[in-house]
């Protein structure tokens, strides 16, 4: 069971402030029952609780569509919404570098990404703490993310959120990790999953979401 602890921390200045109310634990992944859905964080997901105060929330992304954006990954490669068209379904995993449940599931997500590519399913990560409120990359956190990718063997993209997206789709996130799915038209489809999962649980979820999203 992941132990909760109270953390006070301010980050993402400019557009908003996120107060970290519950800390990371150290043991295993969350169960599907504990972490799942309805936009509500599991009792064991790391909480990001504080309303976002941004005048740009409507500019990029919503709860229905991924919106237009131009992000870079932690290696400096460009990633836009057009890349979703290359796959029938894309699994978007939002996480932070300091979140133990997030980090623990990355090796499973890498294995999953290798398994589902041939089924037309892609996986991308968004490193929520890798940018400040102006959408500028935080160099220290980006380096941490690079080390994390190397340590966990992650080869799928780790994206740095831009300013508009921080005030758009990501503004609805109140716990990490959070995972949602996007079809090739850029529509956010299926359920949103709060909390980490085992590899087998993710396999079942991807199969379910792909079956509903792909004709």
- The answer to whether residue 151 scores a pLDDT higher than 90 is yes
What pLDDT is recorded for position 31? Answer: 33
* Secondary structure of 126-146 as H, E, C letters: EEHHHECCCCCECHHHHHHHH
Q: Is residue 13, in this structure, part of any structural domain at all?
A: no
Contacts of 202 (CB under 8 A, 6+ apart): 105, 108, 109, 112
- The answer to whether residue 5 scores a pLDDT higher than 90 is no
Phi, psi of 175 (to 5 degrees): -160, 150
Q: What is the mean pLDDT of residues 166-187?
A: 85
Q: Is residue 101, in this structure, part of any structural domain at all?
A: yes
Q: Is residue 184, in this structure, part of any structural domain at all?
A: yes
CATH for 62 = 3.40.30.10
Which structural domain range is residue 200 located in?
Answer: 32-213
Q: Is residue 131, in this structure, part of any structural domain at all?
A: yes
The tally of domains found in the chain comes to: 1
Q: What is the mean pLDDT of residues 33-62?
A: 42
pLDDT tens digit string along 78-130? 998 899 999 999 999 999 999 999 999 999 999 999 999 999 999 999 999 99
């Amino acid at each position: 069971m992941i132990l909760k602890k109270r953390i006070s921390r301010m980050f993402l200045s400019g557009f908003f402030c996120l107060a970290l109310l519950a800390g990371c634990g150290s043991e295993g992944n969350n169960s599907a029952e504990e972490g799942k859905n309805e936009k509500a964080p599991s009792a064991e997901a790391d909480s990001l609780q504080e309303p976002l105060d941004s005048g740009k929330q409507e500019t990029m992304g919503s709860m229905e569509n991924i919106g237009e954006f131009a992000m870079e990954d932690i290696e400096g490669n460009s990633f836009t919404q057009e890349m979703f068209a290359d796959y029938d379904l894309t699994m978007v995993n939002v996480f932070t570098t300091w979140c133990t449940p997030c980090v623990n599931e990355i090796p499973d997500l890498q294995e999953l990404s290798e398994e589902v590519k041939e089924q037309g399913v892609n996986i991308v990560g968004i490193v929520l703490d890798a940018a400040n409120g102006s959408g500028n990359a935080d160099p220290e956190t980006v380096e941490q993310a690079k080390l994390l990718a190397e340590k966990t063997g992650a080869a799928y993209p780790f994206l740095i959120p831009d300013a508009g997206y921080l005030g758009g789709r990501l503004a609805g996130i109140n716990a990490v990790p959070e995972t949602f799915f996007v079809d090739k038209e850029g529509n956010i489809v299926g359920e949103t999953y709060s909390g980490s999962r085992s590899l087998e649980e993710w396999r079942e979820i991807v199969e379910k979401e792909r079956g509903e999203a792909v004709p």
